Structure 1
């Protein structure tokens, strides 16, 4: 099955050159079309209105941010060519490039940045409430200088600005949006940006086409003539289209793990094991602390000792990824520690349950639990079955409950009607953004992807409420290690596995992944091997 003749024509030529990241000696040549798979249709291409990943995959090629991130999570230039921070950590000054233009030819200025911050992001982005209240002012000082003043120090501010999913900060053209409602402006569907590729067309249900911006402010870039984002909801169809050369790139979380070994062995493809460091996603088993058994920390610890997480890695993830040993992914090396990990110890688990007073009955059973998972991530279902089998050794009878994703979110996060639940959580690019909302007492609310466990720790809250103000990175890292100690001791959620980064790329292309946000990054560096 061919997805479309339009797409297939762009993918006829095959090269025998292999490799996922370009060698230093490679000399990019212009031309070519890169076809990127989308797992669903975006609702918009406006970054200031959404946190939908599939919207950002094309949007980051149309728009620029102020800064980016390298693999060490340090800021890199984008529209801002340089920057400075005041000693007290309250004032950030950005010096913009002077040669950037909007796709309609008008110059990019600090007025555009001021408008984006104050009128678009602050008023429309779903996550603005998590950081914008700490902004005292955001204003243009002159045509190419932009300043942000904070009310209190915020250590991960650069990381926030460089992470559009978290901040919504991709710069918009003021002259297009001023005087309109930024949420409904027609440009949200036919965007005008400053990025390496210009919007060409959007055929609903099929594809989005971008073409090379010949006036891009970064010399010689982009190299590609076109980038096409092909909507292919079905996983099997995506893999088949990729194998046939009708798709060139499958980003990390849509590559089926049972296909990875096959793709690695095929010289037509390259599996790139980088580009997922920023989301730093872990799979967790959430424990509802309102449950009569799970409210006892000894029971939660017993489950942590009993579950064979390496077996989950081998069987549920087909040997990809790593065992998760902390609520923070090991990709965040500056803060991660595995010092408080639980080795598998079934005898200790049984002893803890005895100590908690939950003795085995005549039939050998102690009590029953339910474990829920949402359809669409089959590895979570396989993990649930392994957990069920593991807990039999403790005399715990587990019922596996599977439901569609929306029903799962309602059951677990809105109704708190669960005992155990398998759920993915990002832990990066900074734990302030992605770990604190899962475990802070203030996040015990009936809303998706927050503290459904009902976990509350005054000690952890005190650290959550102060760590982001610490500007010394080593001291801040120690505060996060203290948080990991508390969370691993209290065990409201057992880290099961680190979601593997396995981007699948046609060997005809190089430098498709160049940063830790590989799935939502610009493809300005990507080129076709000639």
Structure 2
């Protein structure tokens, strides 16, 4: 009896401190987690989408070969755990990665999972198999993948063209679920079939995503929850009201410092976990717009940006912006403020920067009596419109009048893919991983379909490929820093701000973690339990 009492005290203390007890005696089965979504998911197919609006509600439906520890605060290689694969090994000098798969796993429709499903998934991503997908945003990650070989039903090998230290991290991302061979793309977009801890029970667009426990889940004893009920609430104020009125148990992971303050005033017992987040605001130029191709204009725009003011608005000054990689110490690869101060707009004297920008604009024929008019597309969310409004005001100081064009995320995605119907866009990019390949290969490589600015510099491209193959972490970091600084100095896609966000939950919700260096990797929820 004394032992049970002590265990209960320990669990209570850990819960009050915001931690997650690992003691199995504390975990309870059953109950429904009432959660919330901020957007209508464009579809249910994680492999075809890039937004948390799809990943958050549907990651519990799937498994990866390997996955980042769902209870770890940092998504990093040291925290990669087995998932559908029991073990893995590198051979051939780091060019072959072989996985031994877990036996007895079944898809939610009862079909056995085998290595053929792994091959089907990555053959579709590579573009050598047609599974009926409409989009393939992860293809740039796997440009180094030469083949996927099924070595029997429970063994599969990824064959690389060259060694690539980041490759295993790609497979551990929340954006890397294994798909079934026998289910087509259309079905996966509306009623996905996975092997995960939860099965899709209901998906009503603009209303609800409801998941129910998979009784045949191959990880015995998991999940602990019976259901997860995601309700769509588009308005941020209404989402907060739903939480403080206890109609939801956990918030969406986009809570900012002002939201946290309001929640703590009304629900002092709520546990909020906020930190600098790898959510980078960038200004992207439409590559087809002739006016915006002018390097002198781009330099003037870069010089006009006051990042300190943007940080004050976006993160209450708690998160600094430098380059495209996450700022240290939270990030492993980013530039320090000292390293980047030579790039346009990063010198501390904002007024001196703007005087230089005004001089450049006058050389282009603009001034107080003749302004340049531009439109800027922005996602129709408060967290995007607010910094966009401030940026527009900053650009007005150098004779540029910016008209905001707020659009829903679905319209944004369509225009972005077509590179049409916008001149500027404020792009809030939350990379899947704090890893150079996940960012550089996807956003800045000449060969990437997701390089929406069409940035293509031969020197930078060679540096990107060199860092990708570099095994020594320190040497690789030096190369990544050099790329980051080079892109900033070119004003190719100015970085504006980073975020300080997180989520809040009630003390009875245990096992819910958001990694500080990724917004996308910790929503499997097989470890979440309710201690009411």
Query: What SS is found at the alignment partner of 1:113?
Result: helix
1:83 and 1:94 in contact (8 A); partners too: yes
Q: Tell me how far 1:257 sits from its aligned partner.
A: 5.9
Q: CA deviation at 1:30?
A: 1.7
Query: How far apart are the structure 2 equivalents of 1:232 and 1:290?
Result: 36
Encode CA deviations 1:367-401: one digit per residue, 9 max, x unaligned: 5353514251224333233334434555x243333
Identify the residue that residue 139 of structure 1 maps to in structure 2.
149
| Partner SS state of residue 502, structure 1 | strand
Structure 1 residue 132, shift from structure 2 partner: 5.0
Distance of aligned partners of 1:189 and 1:303 in 2 relative to their CA distance in 1, 3 Å threshold: closer
TM-score by length of 1: 0.80
Match of 1:525 among 516, 524, 527: 527
* Residue correspondence of structure 1 range 67-466 to structure 2 within 5 A: 67-70=66-69, 71-74=74-77, 75-98=80-103, 100-103=105-108, 107-118=112-123, 122-124=129-131, 126-127=136-137, 129-131=139-141, 134-165=144-175, 167=176, 169-172=177-180, 174=181, 177=182, 182-185=184-187, 189-203=190-204, 205-253=206-254, 255=255, 258-265=258-265, 266-273=267-274, 280-287=278-285, 297=295, 300-315=298-313, 317=314, 319=316, 322-330=319-327, 333-338=331-336, 339-341=339-341, 342-350=346-354, 352-353=356-357, 356=360, 358=362, 367-370=371-374, 372-391=376-395, 393-394=397-398, 396-405=399-408, 414=418, 420-429=424-433, 430-442=435-447, 450-452=451-453, 455-466=455-466
C-alpha separation in 2, matches of 1:57 and 1:363: 47
Q: Structure 1 residue 498: deviation in Å?
A: 0.9
Is 326-335 or 293-302 further displaced after alignment?
Answer: 293-302
Residues 32 and 225, structure 2, Cα contact 8 Å, conserved in 1? yes
Cα separation, partners in 2 of 1:51 and 1:303, compared to 1, 3 Å: closer
Paired position in structure 2 for 1:32:
31
Q: Give CA-to-partner distance per residue, 1:57-104, whole Å, 9 cap, x none.
A: 333212211001242511221111221112522100112233544445
Judge conservation of contact 2:256–2:274 (CA < 8 Å) in 1: no
**Residues 1:475 and 2:464 aligned together:** no
Q: CA deviation at 1:243?
A: 1.9
CA RMSD of aligned residues (A): 3.7
> What do the CA deviations read for 1:317-359 (whole angstroms, capped 9, x no partner)?
2617512111222267332112114133234325534764836
Cα separation, 2, equivalents of 1:43 and 1:392: 35
**Matching residue of 1:6:** none
TM-score normalized with structure 2 length:
0.80
1:257–1:318 contact (8 Å) kept in structure 2:
yes
What are the Cα deviations for residues 435-489 of structure 1, in whole angstroms up to 9, with x where unaligned? Answer: 444334456xxx8x6343x644332122123332333333322221110121111
Q: In structure 2, what is the Cα distance between the partners aligned to 1:271 and 1:361?
A: 51
Relative to structure 1, the CA distance from residue 295 to residue 281 in structure 2 (aligned partners, 3 Å threshold; closer, same or farther) is: same
Q: 1 CA distance for matches of 2:292 and 2:117?
A: 52
| Higher mean C-alpha deviation, range 48-57 or range 153-162 | 48-57
Whether contact under 8 Å (1:36, 1:247) holds in the other structure is yes
User: Per-residue CA shift, 1:47-66, capped at 9, x if unaligned?
Assistant: 44544543333332122110
Is the alpha carbon distance of 1:344 and 1:428 closer, same or farther for their aligned partners in structure 2, counting shifts above 3 Å?
farther
**Corresponding residue for 2:62?**
63
Please give the secondary structure, in 1, of the residue aligned with 2:151.
strand
In structure 1, what is the Cα distance between the partners aligned to 2:140 and 2:352?
41
Mapped contact 2:88–2:100 kept (Cα < 8 A): yes
Q: Secondary structure at the match of 1:324?
A: coil
Equivalent residues, number: 496
Distance 1:49 1:336, change over 3 A: closer
Q: Is the 8 A contact 1:120 1:182 kept in 2?
A: no
Tell me how far apart the structure 2 counterparts of residues 246 and 33 of structure 1 sit (CA, whole Å). 12
Secondary structure at the counterpart of residue 241 of structure 1: helix
- Alpha carbons of 1:400 and 1:21: their partners in 2 closer, same or farther (altered >3 Å)? farther
Which runs of no fewer than 5 residues in structure 2 stay unpaired? 1-13
Distance 1:36 1:344, change over 3 A: same
C-alpha distance in structure 1 between counterparts of 2:145 and 2:32, whole Å: 41
Contact persistence 1:373–1:384 (CA under 8 A): no
Secondary structure of residue in 2 paired with 1:65:
coil
SS at match of 1:210: strand
Distance in structure 2 (CA, Å) of the matches to 1:193 and 1:413 = 28
Offset at residue 206 of structure 1 (A): 3.2
* CA-CA distance at 1:24 after TM superposition: 5.7
Q: Which runs of 5+ in 1 are unaligned?
A: 1-15
